[in-house]
Amino acid sequence: MSTAQQQAEALAAGLYAHQVEGIAFLLGRQRAILADDMGLGKTRQSVLAMRQAQPEGPYLVVCPAAVKINWAREIELVLPAAEIAIVGPAPAPEPGYTGWVVINYDILAKHPLAEHAWSGLVFDEAHYLKNYRSQRHRLSMDLVKAVDDEAVVHLLTGTPLTSRPRDLFPLLQLARHALGRSFVSFAKRYCDAYKGEYGWVADGASNIEELTLQLHGIMLRRTKAEVLDLPPKIRSWLDVEVASRVAREMSEVVTELLQTISRRGQAKLADETEAERRSRQGWIMGQLTTARNRLAIAKVRSTIPFVENALEQGEKVLVFSCFLAPVNTLRKHFGSKAVAITGEVPASERQQRADRFQEDDSVQILAAQITAGGVGLNLTAARQVVFNDLDWVPVNHWQAEDRAYRIGQQQAVNVTYMVGSNTIDEFVKTVLETKSALIDQLVEGSALPEDFQRDVMDELRRVMEVLPAPPTGAMDEQQVVELLHEAGTAFVAAQPAVGSEAKSRLPSAEAVRVLARVLAGPKRALYRVDSSSKLGAFYELEVEGNDISCNCKGFSYRGICQHARALKEALVKGEGLPEGFVEI
């Protein structure tokens, strides 16, 4: 077996076939645009391809603030030994650092990152850079210009940019693609540009089929409808930062809860009367509900940009919350694009609002309280389901997920849970994630274990009975987080092992072969074509991997010429060479 084949098999382990092919694409050139649909795993493909192309760091990831923690978690999951620094509020590492740095677009100007010798740059949600006059695009270009030619650059986006070609041009600039050299030439050819009263107007689209061919090798886009190896439902857990005040309030309530339900706490309360027990439990649950409500409100600031990003990619979105305030905030923020279903909406009107979401293209969001909108409605117009906060009754989540994932749904459904970092959410996530995975892996017709319907509070009580008693008195936030991690570990350990019915994820042999060919090195070829204007003159074209360059003056100025266009089209379509072309 060849070394390239062995490398490919090791790299492909545990991945879907489309992810293996995506890694092969990213490894096929130094700079590339991966424009897959949401939920197809662009983050993991980028991390693996980056490390394979550049085994030594440092690496920089620039992304929206809401997904910084998620990027760090994904890197850690793929590369457990990786050193990771999240910038903001912490400062950027000093030059000489060789690990991963994750920073959001909004604070790029505050940190002198161009001083680092980056081995790789990743721009996530790269459609944030579509305005080439914006500060974030200028700062991103400064980073790209500062790295050497061997640095790898990945631009990740889920937005179908070819529907408005002008938005693609800034990304081609960042990728240093030939088409990114002259905006006027690009706009005339692909944006149906014309001279207006105040300059060039380039909001249209033209020669899209040709543009698609020319983007072959620089941009890869797969939709969920085109990917055949996906499970019907894809769950992901997005860690989001919450205000320190909110986290502290939650920590104080959870401290009292954990101390009360621990063995020591229960022993102290053994002599209380039934009335005292009910009063104490009612008070604690009231405090916990208030803290959960505040946490839910705090997370809306992360949910909104996530939903906006999904809308920009042409998706309809269901957003659930346990509480009224987040639903109202979402409805007000999105205005006429949103409808809301809460406990205050009469049952007769809920179906009407669901029908508007299903049938009206202008209504892109349905925000609902999980108990009001999570049962009985058919909402298959959505492929994106978002939980702003986590219900402590797991079955409520599964019923809500199935508003979109039911008969009539033709595509995979993405389910995203917003998890407050370093809060009780992390234990709730552990319970939900573990139980969801076990349900998904049960053989059809198998009965759930008797205790599987326990809610989060029941599970927390059960694990606290076996853990060492927590300290008495006040606990700081870090102590609470560590105790919740211990509780999560104890919960997972107590769950039944997954049976042999669980399916292994094996990439196709063809996907691995494609990756092996890329790892073996790019193909290079030279072609010659006679000049149509100068008798006896000719031009040479070089093909390396998927890139084509020509030594004519037109290509050096515009980044494209008739020779490169014709050769690219022939090679992509697998046709014979155009007339007048010969390989040398």
CA distance 395 to 552: 65
Query: Between the CA atoms of 429, 435, 439 and 442, what dihedral angle is there, to the nearest 10 degrees?
Result: 130
Give the pLDDT band of residue 290 (cuts 50, 70, 90).
Answer: very high
Share of the chain above pLDDT 90, in %: 36
- Whether residues 310 and 398 share a domain: the answer is yes
Q: Give the tens place of pLDDT for each residue, 484-502.
A: 999 999 988 887 765 433 3
CA distance 530 to 538: 4
User: Residue 326: how many CB atoms within 10 A of its CB?
Assistant: 24
Number of H helices, E strands in the chain: 21, 19
- Whether residues 94 and 36 share a domain: the answer is yes
Give the pLDDT band of residue 101 (cuts 50, 70, 90).
Answer: very high
Evaluate if residue 551 carries a pLDDT over 50: yes
Q: Give the tens place of pLDDT for each residue, 181-199.
A: 888 889 999 999 888 888 8
Q: Give the tens place of pLDDT for each residue, 141-157.
A: 999 999 998 999 999 99
- Whether residues 18 and 157 share a domain: the answer is yes
Query: Between the CA atoms of 438, 222, 305 and 399, what dihedral angle is there, to the nearest 10 degrees?
Result: -30
- Whether residues 327 and 447 share a domain: the answer is yes
Residue at a domain's end among 177, 197, 218: 177
> Are 44 and 239 spatial neighbours (Cβ–Cβ below 8 Å)?
no
Q: Give the tens place of pLDDT for each residue, 303-323.
A: 999 999 899 888 899 999 999
CA distance 81 to 531: 55
pLDDT of residue 472: 78
Q: Is 332 exposed, middle or buried (0-12, 13-18, 19+ CB in 10 A)?
A: exposed
The set of residues, in sequence order, having a beta carbon less than 8 Å from that of 483 and lying 6+ positions away, is 258, 467, 470, 475
Q: Give the tens place of pLDDT for each residue, 563-582.
A: 888 888 888 888 788 888 88
- Whether residues 298 and 418 share a domain: the answer is yes
Q: To the nearest whole number, what is the mean pLDDT of the chain?
A: 85
> Are 32 and 522 spatial neighbours (Cβ–Cβ below 8 Å)?
no
The answer to whether position 195 is within a domain reads no
Q: Give the tens place of pLDDT for each residue, 404-452.
A: 876 556 677 889 999 999 999 999 999 998 888 776 655 334 445 555 6
- Whether residues 537 and 469 share a domain: the answer is no
- Whether residues 64 and 166 share a domain: the answer is yes
382-395 core/surface letters (b: 16 or more CB in 10 A; e: else): bbbbbbbbbbbbbe
pLDDT of residue 406: 64
> Are 154 and 122 spatial neighbours (Cβ–Cβ below 8 Å)?
yes
- Whether residues 348 and 470 share a domain: the answer is yes
Place of tokens 């999951």: 77
Q: What predicted TM-score, i.e. pTM, was given to this entire model?
A: 0.78
- Whether residues 537 and 481 share a domain: the answer is no
The answer to whether position 201 is within a domain reads no
The answer to whether position 204 is within a domain reads no
The answer to whether position 228 is within a domain reads no
The answer to whether position 189 is within a domain reads no
Residue at a domain's end among 145, 177, 209: 177
pLDDT of residue 153: 96
- Whether residues 264 and 374 share a domain: the answer is yes
- Whether residues 363 and 485 share a domain: the answer is yes
Handedness of CA 426, 427, 432, 433 (dihedral sign): positive
Place of tokens 């909406």: 345
> Are 541 and 529 spatial neighbours (Cβ–Cβ below 8 Å)?
yes
Place of tokens 């992360």: 302
The answer to whether position 503 is within a domain reads no
Identify the domain containing residue 555 by its residue range. Answer: 522-583
Residue at a domain's end among 493, 514, 548: 493
The set of residues, in sequence order, having a beta carbon less than 8 Å from that of 186 and lying 6+ positions away, is 165, 169, 172, 179, 180, 558, 559
Q: Residue 120: give its domain's CATH number.
A: 3.40.50.10810
pLDDT of residue 396: 87
Evaluate if residue 58 carries a pLDDT over 90: yes
Q: Work out how many domains the chain is built from and give that number.
A: 3
- Whether residues 10 and 128 share a domain: the answer is yes
CA distance 406 to 142: 47
> Which among 457, 474, 455, 438 is positioned nearest to 253, based on CA atoms?
474
CA distance 335 to 538: 60
